[in-house]
Structure 1
Amino acid sequence: MKRLFFRIGHVLLLFVVLQVVAGCEDDEISVSEAPSKEATYKPAEEEAGEEPIKIGFSMDTLLEERWLKDRELFKQAVEDLGAEVEIIAANGEDALQVWQAERLIERGIDLLVVVPHNAEATATIVERAHDAGIKVISYDRLVKNADVDLYVSYDNELVGELQAKAITSLAPKGKYVYIGGAETDNNAHLMKKGVFKVLDPLIEKGDITVVYDQWTKDWVPTNAQKNMEEALEANDNQIDAVISANDATAGAAIQALDAQGLAGKIPVAGQDADLAAAQRIVTDTQTLTIYKPIQALAETAAELAVKLAKGEEVEEDRTVNNGKVEVPSVLLSPIAVSKSNIVETIIDDGFHTKEEVYQFVED
C-alpha cells in the first residue's frame, strides 16, 4: 500500500513539473509570435553594471558591397566599446524595415541606429522607438519628418560638389547626363543639390546643357543602365560627361557606354569607392569616385550610439533640417579619388589592397 501511494505521488509530481515546463514554453511562443506593442525597455542607467548596452542596427540593405563593410565595421566598433549589437537588413522593403525595427525595440535594445531605405517611411520607426523611451541615430542617410536624436554621415552635398567640380574641369562645355540615386533616399537629393550647385552657373552661361536627368529606382544598377541607354539614344550618342550618384549606377552607365564603343572616352563620376569602381578608374573607364572612409563613419556612429544609450552628452558639428526639426548632426568630410591619388587614399587606408585594385592592369 505504501508503495502504491509512493507511485501515485511520483506521478503527480511529474505531472506538476510537466505543466510548469509547458507553461514556460507557451510564454516563449506568445512573446515571439505575438509580441506586445510596449517594449520591455529599461533606461541604460538602470542597467549599469548588470548587462552591457544593447544597440539595434536597422539597415536598408546588404546587397551592395559598401553596406557589408558598414555592417562589419560598426559591429566591431560597438563590441570594442563593450556593448552588444543586433543587426537586421530589409533589403529595400519599407514595410519589412519597419517591422524589423519594431522587433528590435521589443527585445529591449537601449538605442536604435537606422539606415533608412525610404527617408519618409522610416519616420514611423523613430516614433515607435521614442514611445518606448529609445533614442534613434540616423546613420549615413537622414530620416525625414521625424524627431531624430542624431544624424551621423558624410557631407553629402559636398559629395555632389566634388563630383561636379572634377568633371567640369575635364569637360567645361557640352552635354551632361545626370544619373541620380533613389528618389526615396534623402542623400540622393543632397548629392544632386551639390552637383547642380556647381553646374547651374555653367548652365546659365550656356556652356553646359543637362540633356538627361533621372532618378534610379531603388538604386538598382539595371535601372541606371536603362537610363543611360535612353540618354544615349535620345542624343544620338553625343554625350560629353556623366555624373552618377554612386559607383553601382556609374558602372551600369559605363556598360551602356561600352555597348556604344564610348567607355573610357567620356568622363564618368561615381561615389562610394567600390572595388569595381577603383578597378575601372585604374583601367580608365571611370574617371573618379568619392571616398567616404566607412571605418571613420562606423566608429564615430558606434561611439556616439553608446554614449547616447548611457545618457551621456554628445557634441555635434551642426544641425540639418529634415522637414520637421533641426537634427543635431555630425558630418564627416568625403574625398575625391582619381587615378592620380588612388594609392594614397583608398589603398593606403586599407580600404582595398593594391593587388585587388590593379589586378586587371597589364604590366
Structure 2
Amino acid sequence: MNNLLRKTVGVSAIFLVLGGLVSGCSAPAEPGTSVPGATAKKIGLLLPEVTTLRYEEKDKPYFTEALTSLCPDCTLLYANASSDASKQLQQAQSMLTQGVNVLVVDPYDGVAAASIVQAAKAQKVPVISYDRLIKSPDVAFSISNDYTKVGELQGAALVDKLKADGVATDKGGILMINGAETDPNAANIKKGAHSAIDASGYKVLAEYATWDPAEAQNWVASQLTKFTGQIVGVYSANDGNGGSAIAAMKAAGVHPLVPVTGLDASLAGLQRIVAGDQYMTIYNPFREEAKHAAMAAVDLANGKTPESTTTVDGIPTFLNLPIAVNVSNITDTVIKDDFYKASEICTANFAAACAKANIK
C-alpha cells in the first residue's frame, strides 16, 4: 500500500469513528416519548368486555389518542375479550406472535390473566396491568384507580344520604350488589364500601356478586320479595347494576325509590341521577388513566422506568383518585372534563330535569 492510500484510509477511518461517537451521544428521550430513529414499536391494548360501555367508548379512544401523541410511529394492536378469559389469552398470544413490544392488559379475569403475563415474560415482553389488577408478581407496571377509595366514597355517600333523609338505622337495611369475584378490583371496592356501611349502624340484608346487569336485576327482584318494605338503600358497585336495581324496583312498584349508588359515570347513570332515580356515581378520570397507561407503555418500550405513585402487591403502580358525583356537581366534574357534554346528558327526556338542576 503506497503512502497516499494509507493516508486516505486513515482519514476515512477517523471520520467513521467520529461519526459513531456523535451518533452515540444523542440526548436520551424524555419519559413518555419515542426515540428518534428507533425501530417503530408495537403496543398491544387488551380490554375485557363490551357490557360496560366505558371500555369501548372511553378507554380505547383515550388510549389511542394519547399513544398517537406520544409516539406517532408506534403501531397499536387492539382487541376486546368480550367477557371471555380464554379469548383474551388467545388475543395476547396473537399479539406476541406479531412482535408486540409491550402489552397493556385490562383483564377480564385477574387470576386467569396471569397466563398472559407468563407467555409475555417468556418472550421478554413487559405487561402493564390496566385498571383491573392481574394476580402475577411478574407484571411490570400497574395503572389503576384507587378502588378501595371508590368503595369508601360509595358507602359513605349512601350512609350520608340515608341519615340526611332521616332514615333510622333500625328501620331496615341495605342490599349490596358487589362486583364479580373474578375481578380483583371488586374485592377492593367491596372492602371500602363495607368500611363505611359496617360502621354506620345500618345492617346489610343480603349481598350478591356480579358484573352482569341481568343477573343483578333478577337478584334484586328476588330480594324485594324476600325483604318487602325493609330495604332502605341499595349499594351497587357500578352503574350497570345500579340501573338493574332501579329497573327491578320500578317493576315491583316500589315508590319512592330508595337511594342507589354506582360507578363509571356512565351516560345512563348520569341521566338517572339527573332524573332522581339514582343517587350517585363515581367518576374516575379515565382520560388521565389511559394517558398514563400510554406513557408507561412507551417508556417500557424504550427501556425506561415509568412514573409511579405507589406499589400494589410489590408492583410499581400509578393510581388515579376517584370523585363522587351526584346531581349537584355533574357540571363541575364530568362536564368540565369534557367526559360528557351537557347536550349528551340533557336530551329531550331529561331537559326539564337538567334545567331544574341548572345543568347546561
Task: Indicate the RMSD between aligned Cα atoms, in angstroms.
Answer: 1.4
Q: For the structure 1 residues 258 and 164, does the alpha-carbon distance in structure 2 shift closer, same or farther, using more than 3 Å as the test?
A: same
Please tell me the residue identity of whatever aligns with 1:121. Answer: A
Q: Which of 218, 225, 228 lines up with 1:226 in the alignment?
A: 218
CA–CA distance in structure 2, aligned partners of residues 73 and 178 of structure 1: 31
- Does residue 328 in structure 1 map to residue 319 in structure 2? no
Secondary structure at 1:279's aligned position in 2? helix
Partners of 1:292 and 1:335 within 8 A in 2 = yes
Is residue 300 of structure 2 the alignment partner of residue 308 of structure 1?
A: yes
The match for 1:71 is 60
Alpha-carbon distance, 1:238 to partner = 2.1
CA offsets 1:19-49 (integer angstroms, 9 cap, x no match): xxxxxxxxxxxxxxxxxxxxxxxxxxxx972
Using the alignment, how far apart are the partners of 2:292 and 2:205 within structure 1?
40
Superposed CA deviations along residues 120-161 of structure 1, whole A, max 9, x for unmatched, are 100000011011010000000000134111110110000000
In the alignment of these two chains, the number of paired residues is: 307
Distance 2:104 2:113 in 1: 12
1:243 aligns with 2:231: no
Counterpart residue number, 1:84: 75
Distance 1:237 1:111 in 2: 53
Please give the alpha-carbon distance, in whole angstroms, between the structure 2 residues aligned to 1:209 and 1:91.
Answer: 36
One-letter code aligned to 1:285: D
Contact between 2:50 and 2:83, CA under 8 Å: does it hold in 1?
Answer: no
Would you say 1:59 and 2:47 are equivalent positions? yes
**Alpha-carbon contact 1:139-1:151 (below 8 Å) kept:** yes
Change (3 A) 1:263 1:90: farther
| CA distance, structure 1, for counterparts of residue 148 and residue 255 of structure 2 | 27
Answer yes or no: is 1:175 the counterpart of 2:173: yes
Secondary structure at the aligned position of 1:179 is classed as strand
| 3-state SS of paired residue (1:240) | strand
Mark the CA change 1:303 to 1:263 in structure 2 (over 3 Å): closer, same or farther.
farther
Q: Residue type matched to 1:92 in 2?
A: S
Question: Alignment partner for residue 346 of structure 1, among 314, 334, 351?
Answer: 334
Please give the secondary structure, in 1, of the residue aligned with 2:228: coil
Out of 115, 129, 132, the residue aligned to residue 124 of structure 1 is: 115
CA offset at residue 103 of structure 1? Answer: 0.7
**Matching of residue 357 in structure 1 with residue 345 in structure 2:** yes
Whole-angstrom CA distance in 1 between matches of 2:64 and 2:51: 17
CA distance in 2, matches of 1:237, 1:51: 65
Percent identical pairs in the alignment equals 38
Q: Is the 8 A contact 1:94 1:121 kept in 2?
A: yes
Q: 1:58-111 CA distances to partner (integer Å, 9 max, x unpaired)?
A: 111134310011011111111111222110111011111111101101111110
Select which of 170, 192, 198 maps to 1:200.
198
For 1:264 and 1:144, the matched residues in 2 are separated by 42
- The CA distance in 2 between the partners of 1:247 and 1:146, in whole Å, is 31
8 Å CA contact 1:176, 1:212 repeated in 2: yes
CA contact (8 A) 1:111 1:134 kept: yes
Distance in 1 separating the partners of 2:323 and 2:99: 38
Structure 1 residues without counterparts, runs of 5 or longer: 1-46
Q: 1:200-247 CA deviation, whole Å, 9 max, x = no partner?
A: 223xxxx2110011101xx11101101211221110142101111110
